[in-house]
Amino acid sequence: MYELKQITEHTYYIDCPAKIGLFRTDSGEVFLIDSGNDKEAGRKVRKILDENGWHLKAIVNTHSNADHIGGNRYLQQQYGCPVFAKGIEAAFTRFPILEPAFLYGGYPGKDLRHKFLLAQSSEAADICDPSFPKELEVIPLPGHFFDMIGIRTPDNVVFLADCISGRGTLEKYPLTFLYDVAEYLNTLDRVEAMEADYFVPAHADAAADIKDLVRFNRLKIREAEQKILSLLQTPMTAEALLKNLFDAYHLTMTFEQHALVGSTVRSYLSWLKDGGKITASFDENYLRWSAQ
């Protein structure tokens, strides 16, 4: 864990639960793509940099989920480096309480205020800032989170953040977290058509060809869609639907899963209602959802 893997002459990734990208310039300056899930991840990154005699120039966060920004504060304190993120992601990075509050839909209790959902805050500038590293190409990848991006390095390696998951993960957890289902499907289409020498998803194996994995991710979205439509043949509340989905997928409910999968299910409901596939009505002060 936290092993440095070299892909091309200048591009690497650190193998950890949410892969950290690294681009090295000829002068030994380094740009990180994400920073891991906590202070300890930051320490391990610094150890790698020190062992190679590299200096951290900047961190680019693909999005503001805690497992991607958790090392920011430690590394920023050690190197005084800037952090960049796009739009809403920069705001969530500066004010990370927004992530568990958004997921829960209100003030998050102690069960949701921990490092897996609540990173330490760090200063973050928008990617439109003039000081953003010119060496890196930003690729919009919305859907999983508000303004998620990917990064293409000059030697044609693309870091894909959380826009695709590995087969094993999807087989075990078919309902992966999504904010905007329609945008996510659009992103999958763009990624499937994308050309690069190498692709590095944060939560799947790095590979030269990821088209089959993209299709598998799309398939799981469509399977979840059909499962929800099938369950909604009987009108029910979102909470009842969530319970039925957990039973169908043999998942175990926890506070974290209730927040993450519950938010995802509500996103599916919005998408299906906007698409005219389900309806919503109020019955005895319950909001009930029903397939058309």
Q: How far apart are CA 121 and CA 127, in angstroms?
A: 18
Over residues 221-264, the pLDDT tens digits come to 999 999 999 999 999 999 999 999 999 999 999 999 999 999 99
Vertex 217: Cα angle to 17 and 253 (nearest 5): 60
Cβ–Cβ under 8 Å, residues 58 and 116: no
Q: What is the pLDDT of residue 84?
A: 98
* 255-287 pLDDT tens trace: 999 999 999 999 999 999 999 999 999 999 999
Contact 63, 148 (CB under 8 A): yes
Strands of the chain, DSSP E: 3-6, 11-15, 20-24, 29-33, 55-60, 83-85, 125-126, 137-140, 149-152, 157-165, 198-203, 278-283, 286-291
The pTM score is 0.97
For residue 1, the model assigns a pLDDT of 87
- Tens-digit pLDDT profile for residues 138-161: 999 999 999 999 999 999 999 999
Tell me which residue has tokens 């469509």: 222
Task: For the chain, list the domains and their CATH numbers.
Answer: 3-222 (3.60.15.10), 231-291 (1.10.10)
Q: What does the pLDDT read at residue 263?
A: 98
Per-residue pLDDT tens over the stretch 158-211: 999 999 999 999 999 999 999 999 999 999 999 999 999 999 999 999 999 999
Per-residue pLDDT of 106-135, as tens digits, reads 999 999 999 999 999 999 999 999 999 999
